[in-house]
Amino acid sequence: MKKSNSTTAVAGEYFVAAELARRGHIALITLRNTESVDILASNAEGTRSVSIQVKTRSGKAHNWPLNVKAEKISSPNLFYVFVTLRGAQERPNYFIVPSAKVARTVAESHAAWLKRPGKKGQMHKDTPIRQFRAYESYREKWDLLGL
């Protein structure tokens, strides 16, 4: 049976919260209507906290579709955790990326895509969808959160 996008998204959030707890941090999953923040995380002492936006995919893909808003969301205390859910018995892949890096990369890659001709030589039409490809250098970089 194929998983729905919403159950995949929720699974990713719980996996990230569990991983943070396993590392000794406090992780609170926000309500579904919270804009741009899926998890609020803090160190155990409560002296440092960050907001986390979780994006989850199933399978082997290491690219995630984002909304145009991702180009403008940038804060030193906001991070994306891109999650790849693998087999039922396998640990997910985690890519921890600062929001400023995501915003810059998404804007640059979309601008380049618009300039590049399509398969039949036509110009691409602008859309609100952006693509982010996770870099291996961000795999398991939990230390970037500074917790």
- Does residue 29 surpass a pLDDT of 50? yes
Least confident among 2-11, 31-40, 70-79: 2-11
User: CB-based contacts of 83: which residues, under 8 Å, 6+ apart?
Assistant: 12, 15, 16, 54, 55, 56, 57, 92, 93, 94, 95
Over 90: is that where the pLDDT of 33 sits?
Answer: no
pLDDT band of 3, cuts 50, 70, 90: low
Q: What angle do CA 41, 98, 73 make, to 5 degrees?
A: 95
Q: Domains of the chain: which residue ranges?
A: 5-145
Query: pTM of the entire structure?
Result: 0.90
CATH architecture of the domain 5-145 equals: 3-Layer(aba) Sandwich (3.40)
Whether 41 and 145 have beta carbons less than 8 Å apart is answered as yes
